[in-house]
Amino acid sequence: MSIQLGDTAPDFTADTTEGEISFHDWKKDSWAVLFSHPKDFTPVCTTELGYTAKLKDEFAKRNVKVIGLSCDSIEDHEKWAKDIEETQGQLPNFPMIGDADQKVANEYGMIHPNANDTMTVRSVFVVDANDKVRLMITYPASTGRNFDEIIRVIDSLQLTDGHKVATPVNWKQGDDVIIVPALSNDEAKEMFPDGWDEQKPYLRVVKQPS
Ligand code: BEZ
């Protein structure tokens, strides 16, 4: 059975570039981004890991820890890290799982055999502070992901958790948001005493709470 949104993220113990990690213990009360890349010493992956490392402060602000994975050895990860620093101007600053036996990749469905039977696809799992899976995305090997978009979704999820608002199409930080349909008008009055713009009974627009 494949992992679905709302499931508890499977726990695992794995060797990483920062020593052995048990996933749930490592993330504790933080959110986590667990992402796979197809292969070390490949061009698109090199750019992705450099950029993700540059986002360290953005992830930290949101209480998010990042962990990477590919079915390569720790030794390869360590050698490749120097290339990432040289070409992207940033050393990876998060643990990278050496999943040579594909244990974690199989548990998380990161290998899609009809695409490639040895390399992981570009999977991303965002896991919240309660270990629940909140976002899953899958990109092909040839397309680098947009890690700013991953941060945007985390912002949206954290706004929903904290303020009972959803985010509309192409929402970005500071744009208006939408009161979640599950909140009655009476409940909404408590949370949004300044009111809202009721474009339809189900489309109630408010300023983004801070
Ligand atoms: C890359 O990272 O550039 C890449 C990896 C595997 C297949 C295709 C591209």
The model scores a pTM over 0.85: yes
| CATH code for the part of the protein at 13-145 | 3.40.30.10
Q: Give yes or no for residue 195 having a pLDDT over 90.
A: yes
Residue with tokens 């999977």: 123
Q: Which residues does a 6 A CB cutoff place in the pocket of ligand 1?
A: 38-39, 42-45, 141-142
**Catalytic: 45?**
yes
Separation between Cα atoms, residue 2 and residue 30, nearest integer Å: 24
Residue 157: its pLDDT value, please? 98
CA of 97 to the centre of ligand 1 (A): 18
Residue 101 has pLDDT above 90, yes or no: yes
The identity of residue 96, as a single letter, is M
Query: Does residue 160 have a pLDDT over 90?
Result: yes
List the catalytic residue out of 45, 71, 111, 121: 45
Ramachandran angles phi, psi of 166, nearest 5°: -110, 165
Q: Domain 163-206 maps to which CATH number in 3.40.50.300, 3.30.1050.10, 1.10.3720.10, 3.30.1020.10?
A: 3.30.1020.10
- Ligand 1 centroid to 174 CA: how many Å? 35
* CA-based nearest residue to 50, from 99, 83, 98: 83
